[in-house]
Amino acid sequence: MGFACVYIPDFLVQAVVRGQRALGDGALALLGGAPPLWSVAAANPAAFAAGIQLGMTKAQVTQFSNVQICMRSEAQEKSAHAALLDAAWSVSPRVEDIALDTLVLDLEGLSGLFGSDENIAQELARRIAAIGLAARVAVAANIEVAIHAARGFPGITIIPAGEERRRLGALPVGVLTTEAETLEILERWGVETLQALAALPVLQLSERLGQEGVRLSELARGVRQRSLVLAQASLSFAEEMELDDAVEELEPLSFLLGRLLDQLCARLEARALALRALRIQFELQPSFEKDFQTLQEDLRTKPEVKHFEKLLTLPVPMRNAKTLLKLLRLQLQGDPPPAPIQKIYMTADAAAPRVAQNGLFVPSGPDPEKLEVTIARLAKLVGEGNLGCAELLDSHRPESFRMKRFAVANEQSKQSSNKELKTKERSEPRASVTVLRVVRPAQAVRVEMRDGQPVKVYLRGMRGEVIAASGPWRSTGDWWQEDAWHQDEWDLEIEFAASSVVAAQHAAPVLPQQKHDQSQPNRQSGTGPQRGLYRIYYDTLRQEWFLRGVYD
């Protein structure tokens, strides 16, 4: 069989309900048009049954107590249509976009994946239901037959080849896409069904209605052929929501964001893609103070709409809506929008989903999604710049490193780096390295020199005798810049007298931020002098001595 047509009845209503699930039950009428002349643009069958008619004014609709009223949303219609396209592309790569509510799919070669035409139609309906829309699906050998069958018959319809004319015959002529005048003429002739239209002689029909008559006759007989006009798949995904009342607090905002993320992730899943970056733009409510400005020029100008943006860049592609919502919430808690939000616009950059299969002999690392949430929580705790992995810079400047975003390496690089490391380890056996614990920021110290060597060091009120010294090791650079450095470093073994330590009320003479601890009897200081290995430096530019760190 050739083609399947997907038709969404009451598309305008379904698009709004898709964004606001609570509206799904009961009668619903959508208002459209320019304010204040709002009129009913669409309604669901329950609303029509209650007495609602298209074109009714808002005042008339409000008389119906059991009918909910909602504004038509072009943004949600656009989102729903994009989602419908994504669902169709998840079944067939060849899709024609006919209207907001109608798509046609080429089913050639899909039987190997899904089986019979009925199975394909059922799968299609299921996937469309997953994005929050109820669809009618019709399968036929002819594009136009499939379109008319989908518009005319509820549920799933399969029209075998050769039975097109018979099956379409029962449909009213209203399913044909033609001008209203032509339909009026047909009505005046008493032609109500496609069967009646198909029975009319083509020659006479063409004499009266021209080429349009021939086309309509072919459509009614199910013999009109045409080729599919393919729609181009896009890699950008957008969801939009306009709010009736501005949202100020994070809790209700998270609820709305969660709904948008669910829709976005469902669309990505339909296309077998994942999310690499998420950009959210909030349209903020105009400032409150503007309302009180009574100057004429201010009244004439429309208040300027402000926007607030958030960008979520992910180290690995993911499409777990819950994880994404957690990350967004953490970002918004750290930097909340400055005003209530009246519109949310969400766009996603798609990428191929990550490979989840780990190597058999590769140690398993943290789950990337969980790790990302943990990193976001840690960033909230310690600050964005105080977290990540250190990257050494190609410079001799002390403390020349920068913080890089931490991400678990992908499988290939993991394996290659393992291989490199193991070869390196085999070739160069490492000894235990004396590590420098850095004092940040460097602490000023007083140093007494004799014969060009430091002999005494005064650190936070403690006096230490230098037992051995190594230096000066000079380093200098960037003299052409403002942040030049010129330092003479010394490695010192210092012995702090026990009396000095006690006098200074220090448990350990190491770090400047350390608080005094009188209660702790230091193992060394309690019994005798305390020794330590330190690195100090003389900053030639500032003409001062500093403690860089302690060897440990």
Footprint (CB under 8 A) of other proteins, residues 518-537: 519-520, 522-524, 530-533
For other proteins, give the closer residue by CB, 226 or 523: 523
Residue given tokens 């329950």 in the structure block: 46
For other proteins, give the closer residue by CB, 301 or 470: 470
Question: For the sheet containing 102-106, what is the strand order?
Answer: 95-99, 102-106, 3-7, 136-140, 156-158
Exactly one of 509, 537, 538, 547 binds other proteins (CB under 8 A); which one?
509
Identify the DSSP state of 175.
G
Smallest gap from residue 525 Cβ to other proteins (A): 9
Distance between CA 168 and CA 148 in Å, rounded?
Answer: 8
**Selection from 238, 269, 243 nearest residue 255 by Cα:** 243
SS3 362: coil
Residues 264-303 interacting with other proteins (rule: CB under 8 A): none
For other proteins, give the closer residue by CB, 297 or 451: 451
Tokens for 435? 């590590």
What phi and psi, each to the nearest 5 degrees, are found at residue 274? -135, 170
Q: Is 550 in the site for other proteins (CB under 8 A)?
A: yes
Q: Is 451 in the site for other proteins (CB under 8 A)?
A: yes
Q: Are 314 and 275 in contact (CB under 8 A)?
A: yes
Q: Is the peptide bond before 36 cis (omega within 30 degrees of 0)?
A: yes
Q: Is 37 in the site for other proteins (CB under 8 A)?
A: no
For other proteins, give the closer residue by CB, 59 or 392: 392
Q: Is 498 in the site for other proteins (CB under 8 A)?
A: no
Smallest gap from residue 476 Cβ to other proteins (A): 12
Residues 347-386 interacting with other proteins (rule: CB under 8 A): 362-367, 370-371, 373-375, 377-378, 381-382, 386
For other proteins, give the closer residue by CB, 287 or 374: 374
Distance between CA 274 and CA 323 in Å, rounded?
Answer: 13
Smallest gap from residue 453 Cβ to other proteins (A): 7
Smallest gap from residue 320 Cβ to other proteins (A): 15
**Do the strands 27-32 and 67-71 form a parallel or antiparallel pair, or are they unpaired?**
parallel
Question: Torsion angle of alpha carbons 252, 257, 259, 260, nearest 10°?
Answer: 150
Residue given tokens 């209530």 in the structure block: 340
Tokens for 158? 């399969």
Smallest gap from residue 322 Cβ to other proteins (A): 15
Q: What angle do CA 26, 31, 35 make, to 5 degrees?
A: 150
Q: Is 99 in the site for other proteins (CB under 8 A)?
A: no
Q: Is 449 in the site for other proteins (CB under 8 A)?
A: no
Smallest gap from residue 521 Cβ to other proteins (A): 10
For other proteins, give the closer residue by CB, 5 or 325: 325
Q: Are 442 and 459 in contact (CB under 8 A)?
A: no
For other proteins, give the closer residue by CB, 307 or 322: 322
Q: Are 194 and 168 in contact (CB under 8 A)?
A: yes
Smallest gap from residue 378 Cβ to other proteins (A): 6
Smallest gap from residue 493 Cβ to other proteins (A): 5
Q: Is 470 in the site for other proteins (CB under 8 A)?
A: yes
Q: Is 493 in the site for other proteins (CB under 8 A)?
A: yes
Distance between CA 227 and CA 542 in Å, rounded?
Answer: 80
Residues 201-220 interacting with other proteins (rule: CB under 8 A): none
SS3 482: coil
Smallest gap from residue 429 Cβ to other proteins (A): 10
- Report helix angle 117-130 to 74-89, nearest 10: 140
Exactly one of 514, 526, 527, 542 binds other proteins (CB under 8 A); which one?
514
For other proteins, give the closer residue by CB, 78 or 414: 414
Q: Are 19 and 73 in contact (CB under 8 A)?
A: yes
Q: Is 472 in the site for other proteins (CB under 8 A)?
A: yes
Give the C-alpha distances (Å, rounded to integers) separating 398 from 375, 394, 401. 28, 11, 9
Residues 386-445 interacting with other proteins (rule: CB under 8 A): 386-392, 400-401, 403, 406, 408-409, 414, 417-418, 421-422, 425, 430-440
